[in-house]
Amino acid sequence: MKLKVFYDRENREKTVELGNNATIKDLLKKMGINPVTVIVSKNDDVILEDQKLKDKDDIKIISVISGG
Amino acid sequence: MNCCSNKPVIGLIAGEKLCKAHFIEYFESKVFKTIRQFDLIGKEEHLGVALSGGKDSLTLLHLLSKLSKQNPKIKLTAIAINEGIHGYRDKTLAAAEKFCKKNSVPLHIYSYEEEFGMPLDNMLKALDVKPCTICGIFRRYLLNKKSRELGFTKLATGHNLDDEAQSIVMNEFKNNVQASARLGPKAGINSNKKFVQRIKPLYLCTEKEVTVYAFVNGLLDNFNECPNVAKSYRAQVRDMLNNFENENPGTKYAIINSFLQILPDLKKRFKGEQADYCKSCGEPAAKDKCNACIFAERLEKAKLRAV
Ligand code: SF4
Ligand SMILES: [Zn+2]
Ligand SMILES: [Zn+2]
């Protein structure tokens, strides 16, 4: 499946290709993001790393680190 | 293990998964328990809340507003520092102003430009110093001085568990035990009458927990990062700790819990420090002159050289 993912820290949308049944954890791994440093929202709900993804899910990756 | 049949929004280190409603309950009771356990807030206070406009300080003010509504003897006033960091602080301060207006909390903003003659951006051009060193010295100086002038009984800051774990490890790596003695949920130097006690109600909340809480309460603004943070020692320690936490969940809690066990001894050992006052400005100082005055003089000299 192909997903459009917005990562706030980089302020851009990326297209990521993943196998069927992929989870948030797989997505973060593919993008090289440490799960400790982000929360993930799907259609404006916060979701956990073990959640499975579907085509066309609206995914936002939100950085938890303080800005300084 | 799920708290109930509702969709979870967070997984805790202990393995429990909480839904939105149960997480809010968990988070708020953790903060209020921290306040009681460490005796952070008395029956009658005029609390200053240090507001940066980021998620931590907005979450803090949101929670303290709740507390203040239940206890009319707890008065709140927000205080913010505008360091003068182009493209960063202007945005977070706008969020701070909006929040205070909406919640009818008075807000006082002080800037480096007005108080020290130039914004941080220009200071960094004039002097060859690490941005966060000078920025932190001036910020702590202003926060303390203005808090005292505004009559705050205490100053609450949005420091969370991650911030504190980073500070502990940074001090350890730099062999700065004395600086660690000033940490803790009730921070600062008690021996100095001009010092306003700082408190950290989010002390036991991880950065992730604060972010989820801010998210579900609509307190999260667009991501915003100080352009100087990437160069900082803190960012290096933060990234290292987060990588370690990912491999070994619970590490950051362990740092805090072991620190809390030795903190009373540290406080005892450095009890008399910074009991003095700066000869030029009268603010608390360890030596004849406070760090803020030392840097202000260096800036003055650099300015003279430039003309
Ligand atoms: S990251 Fe450093 S320079 Fe930026 S606001 Fe924080 S202390 Fe100041
Ligand atoms: Zn629940
Ligand atoms: Zn001074």
What ipTM does this complex have? Answer: 0.95
In this predicted model, what pLDDT tens digit does every residue of B106-141 receive, in sequence order?
Answer: 999 999 999 999 999 999 999 999 999 999 999 999
* Smallest CA separation from ligand 1 atom 7, residue: B132
pLDDT of residue B257: 97
CA-nearest residue to B235 within chain A is: A68
pLDDT of residue B20: 96
Q: Is the pTM of this model over 0.90?
A: yes
Amino acid at B236: Q
Choose among B163, B215, B243: nearest Cβ to A66: B163
Nearest to B12 by CA among B252, B200, B259: B252
What is the residue extent of each domain of chain B? Answer: 38-275
* Rounded Cα–Cα distance for residues A51 and A54 (Å): 10
Q: Which fold has domain B38-275?
A: Rossmann fold (3.40.50)
pLDDT of residue B64: 97
Segments in chain B below pLDDT 70: 274, 307
Count Cβ atoms within 10 A of the Cβ of residue A15 and give its class: 0-12 exposed, 13-18 middle, 19 or more buried. Answer: exposed
> Given an 8 Å threshold on Cβ–Cβ distance, is A64 in contact with B132?
no
What is the residue extent of each domain of chain A? Answer: 2-63
> Given an 8 Å threshold on Cβ–Cβ distance, is A8 in contact with B223?
yes
pLDDT of residue B307: 64
Mutation pick from A36, A38, A43, A62 vs chain B, by most beta carbons of B within 10 Å, is A36
Q: Which CATH class is domain A2-63?
A: alpha beta
pLDDT of residue B182: 92
pLDDT of residue A68: 62
* Pocket of ligand 1 from Cβ distances under 6 Å: A 68; B 83, 85, 131-132, 135-136, 226, 228-229, 232
In this predicted model, what pLDDT tens digit does every residue of B193-236 receive, in sequence order?
Answer: 899 999 999 999 999 999 999 999 999 888 888 999 888 999 99
**Ligand 1 centre distance from Cα of residue B87 (Å):** 13
CA B305, distance to chain mean position in Å, is 35
